[in-house]
Amino acid sequence: MLYALVSLLIFQGSVAAIPGLASSFAGSTSTAVFPPPNATIGESDSSFPDGSQVGFAGPTPTGDEANAITTAPSIAKVDSVFPLVKPHASNTGSSSFDVLQNLGNLSPWQSVASFGLPDTSPVVPKGCSLNQVYLLNRHGARYPTSDAPTSKFSANIHAAASGAGFTASGPLGFLNTWTYKLGAEILTPFGRSQLFSLGVGFRVKYGNLLKGFTKLPVFRTTSEERMLDSALHFAAGFFGVQTYQQDYHQLITIENDGQNNTLAPYFDCPNANNAVEGFGSIQSTKWANTYLQPTLKRLSPFIKGYNLTVPDLIGMQELCAYETVSLGFSDFCDLFTEEEWKGFEYFIDLGFWYGAGPGNPASSAQGIGYVQELVSRLTQTTITSFDSTVNATIVTNPVVFPLDQPIYVDMSHDTVMSTIYVAMNFTGLAANGPLPTDHVPKNRTYFANQIAPFASNLVGQVLSCPASNLPTHIRWLLNDAAVPLTGINGCKHNSDGLCDINTFIAGMKQRIAEVDFNFDCFGNYTIPIPDNIVDGQFPKNLRTA
């Protein structure tokens, strides 16, 4: 399961203590618990009645639904990461350089300028009307996964500092008093704010579609804590905090072994949990051992009693990302130059490309279940073939999987979204592949910080052009930028990113037929995996079983 793309990097064991002075708390873990264990829960305390019990709410009429995506001349771009302190590289050669946009999938989402359609706006094209909208988005900013390099780096530093002879100086001097304050897996406060803001923004843009519901909406998420938390914060922003759990149904699908789940397909795809998935870490590690060698030579003289390694440096770059989205600021960020941050971004790009993107042979198979559900919803036809990660119990039940909603909202993970892009054949994102592991290529089109940052969102707009009640076209906006659909059979170049909806559906059905789920997820591949794959499928001419 590809949660932390660098988790397979091999970290050296704790360095033995060296006699001399040491800082016993450097790298130690620091935690806090809130609310206090003996605190009274307000809802059960008669001293603090609920607002509905107090009354005196004053006037409460509501206005009409917003419809900004069709009425506004333009849509506000997301370019703020408040309340985070934007970090700076150690060399400020370019005032426009943004470290936060070079953190790969650990970047906070910000609006993307273009995926090759520079003149396209998220606003519905003039003369068209909006009939339906699909939202697929990633959870908000979280603490590191349990096996991430951050905690390993902390443990190694603490082991060295607990002995004698450990000292850090110069740019690394802060390590003498640094403690590890990060949790694991769950949303950070900033991550919660991301999803709340996303819900507010979605209501402002698409709230008018709520008028088309004849029963309560059903939104989906998985059972992981950060996933459900993200879904609830989105809904609170979309519906309002007082009544949102009465305004919709939250379907929580089980994310665990033995459960088919298109929003967490890796549990039903063995090749997403073995050396096939690990191909991303193999490829990215090759690049790490190239771009970080000068960094290792530059920073090593500033630490005594501990031998810095390339994996340590990756852990430190990740700490910049995680501490920033968790604590608001990180001393690790300005240790690295602009070039080193660009190298880190490409390190993550390689991990995604070869681990959960176009270069991994199990990617299309993992994403194809969501495509089957998409076709089912677009055509209002119940799925009858179950040869992927589609959960038959869910999709054959119209109560939990309705086919007539004007708005669909699905919460998922970064790597899952990446596989879905591959399954949908968004080839424009992968135009410059395969990616080399020894240098950063020019004219890149594949950036993890653009396709799968924290709170990343893919929006499908079903449109009528010219305006009518009959859908005629569809387009997809990834983090506010239209995705070219020319990789889909029959979809022609369009400056607004539009494709005829019947052509699009036919193209998705073709993709479903092309993907061999059983082989790509269960096949015994020849290792090493070919490094020239660009469609997320194992080459048919190399298949032996």
pLDDT on residue 36 = 81
Q: What pLDDT does residue 34 have?
A: 81
- pLDDT, residue 369, reads 98
pLDDT of residue 49: 80
In this prediction, residue 19 has a pLDDT band, given cuts at 50, 70 and 90, of: very low
For 233, the 3-state DSSP assignment is helix
With bands split at pLDDT 50, 70 and 90, how would you rate the model's confidence at 17? very low
Residue 41 confidence (pLDDT) = 67
In degrees rounded to 5, what are phi and psi of residue 356? -150, 20
Predicted pLDDT at 16: 31
Whole-angstrom distance, CA of residue 34 vs CA of residue 30: 14
pLDDT tens digit sequence for 436-476 = 999 999 999 999 999 999 999 999 999 999 989 999 999 99
Whether the Cβ atoms of residue 421 and residue 410 lie closer than 8 Å to each other: no
Distance CA 113, CA 77 (A): 9
Q: Which pLDDT value is given to residue 245? A: 80
Domains and CATH numbers, the chain: 99-125+141-456+502-542 (3.40.50.1240)
Residue 21 has pLDDT above 50, yes or no: no
What's the CA gap between 275 and 290, in Å, rounded? 23
With 50 as the cut, is the pLDDT of residue 326 above it? yes
Instruction: Please give the sequence-ordered ranges of beta strands (E in DSSP) within 306-385, or none if there are none.
Output: none
Amino acid identity, position 34: F
Is pLDDT above 50 for 10? no
Question: Whole-angstrom Cα distance, residue 473 to residue 460?
Answer: 10
Share of the chain above pLDDT 90, in %: 82
- Quote the mean pLDDT of the chain: 91
Instruction: Label residue 160 by pLDDT band (50, 70, 90).
Output: very high
Q: Rounded distance, CA 152 to CA 166, Å?
A: 17
Binned at pLDDT 50, 70 and 90, residue 27 comes out as confident
Task: Quickly state the pLDDT bin for 14 (edges 50, 70, 90).
Answer: very low
Tell me whether strands 167-168 and 499-500 are parallel, antiparallel or unpaired: unpaired
d(CA 331, CA 322): 11
| Peptide bond just before 265 cis, omega within 30 deg | no
* pLDDT of 23: 47
Q: Is the pLDDT of residue 298 over 90?
A: yes
pLDDT-derived band at 545 (thresholds 50, 70, 90) equals: low
Burial-class residue 485 by CB neighbours within 10 Å (0-12, 13-18, 19+): buried
Q: What pLDDT is recorded for position 259?
A: 94
* pLDDT surpasses 60 at 18: no
Selected residue with higher pLDDT from 20 and 64? 64
> Band of the pLDDT at 93, cuts 50, 70, 90?
low
Given a cut of 80, whether residue 526 has pLDDT beyond it is no
Distance (Å, rounded) from C-alpha 174 to C-alpha 159?
17
- Assigned token pair, 480: 């506010």
Residue 51: its pLDDT value, please?
84
pLDDT of residue 191: 98
Task: Locate 511 and state its tokens.
Answer: 């993709």
Specify the range with the lowest mean pLDDT, choosing from 264-268, 292-296, 526-530. Answer: 526-530
CB atoms within 10 A of CB 127: 10
Considering only 22-26, 37-41, 437-441, which range has the smallest mean pLDDT? Answer: 22-26
Q: What is the pLDDT averaged over residues 481-496?
A: 96
The pTM assigned to this predicted structure is 0.92
Q: What is the per-residue pLDDT for 26?
A: 83
Q: Above 60 in pLDDT, residue 379?
A: yes
Confidence band of 399 (pLDDT split at 50, 70, 90): very high
Question: Does the N-terminal peptide bond of residue 434 adopt cis geometry, omega within 30 degrees of 0?
Answer: yes
pLDDT of residue 44: 62
What's the pLDDT score for residue 186?
97
**Angle formed by the axes of helices 189-206 and 225-239, nearest 10°:** 40
Look at 14-28, 72-86, 299-313, 410-424 and tell me which has the smallest mean pLDDT.
14-28
What is the average pLDDT across 108-113? Answer: 96
Q: How far apart are CA 496 and CA 217, in angstroms?
A: 29
Find out whether 369 and 521 touch, Cβ atoms under 8 Å: no
The answer to whether residue 362 scores a pLDDT higher than 60 is yes
212-261 pLDDT tens trace: 999 999 999 999 999 999 999 999 999 999 878 899 999 999 999 999 99
Reported as a pLDDT band with limits 50, 70 and 90, residue 42 is low
Helix (H, G, I), strand (E, B) or coil at 482: strand
- Kindly indicate the confidence band of residue 540, based on its pLDDT and cuts at 50, 70 and 90: confident
Q: Tell me the H-state helices in 116-262.
A: 149-161, 189-206, 225-239, 244-247
